[in-house]
Amino acid sequence: MSYYGNIDISGKRGMGIEYEEMAINSSDVQTESEYSDTKRSRTPQNTVRIKNYRSVVVCLVLLCVLLLTAVIALCVHIHTISTNCTQERDELIIEKGNLPKERDQFPAVGKYQCSDNPKWITYKHSSYYISSEWKNWTESREDCLQRGADLIIINDKEEQDFITVATSANIVWIGLNEFHKEGVWKWVDGSTLTTEFWRHGEPNNNVGDEDCVVSHFHWADYPCDFTFVWICEKDLEV
């Protein structure tokens, strides 16, 4: 043991050991505090919250998947309907290319002449107006009524052949519909259909409510909100 004056310096080493022990104890206290905080953060309440958050995320993902599937299915359905409509219309338009051959096979339909109004054509006992616009069936009939006429009523094969030639085989609205009862076709004057010139497979309601009729060599039922040209007919004997 060394002495420096009256001061004992031999305990310096012992004091250093005490300081080291204090530092270690302090570190242990800090570690225990951190462990305590971590333990508190993992309480059952926090664990439940984490599980709830995960459940919400999973539900949202599933909902998005279901909505996406529904949208895709709806788009496919609309595309299918649109394709069917387009195919029906294209088939009718493509047949127009056969007009010269069809004309050669027509029997004589009699002579027709222009009336005082160049837009009207007289054939037998009626006068016919062939539009140059495209409208739906209801609008087409309204136009005819404003002209003192109505959509054409086809009575026989000669008249059917006549309008095919007169319209250059265009697709045209005629005055036939099934508004009153499904499957019961009537003309605009209320008379029941007797003579028919349906195209093979028609009428078929292929795209839903096809309650109106067009003529193009033969007849086909179509949705009334489609747009085509039309023919008005006015009886000259009235």
Residues of the chain with pLDDT under 70: 1-48, 51, 79-118, 237-238
Q: Rounded CA gap, 200 and 214, in Å?
A: 14
Taking a C-beta distance cutoff of 8 angstroms, is the pair 122, 232 a contact? no
pLDDT digits (tens, 9 = 90+) for 146-201: 999 999 999 999 999 999 999 888 899 999 999 988 889 999 999 999 999 999 99
Q: What is the model's pLDDT at position 157?
A: 94
Q: What is the model's pLDDT at position 106?
A: 42
Q: What is the pTM of this model?
A: 0.54
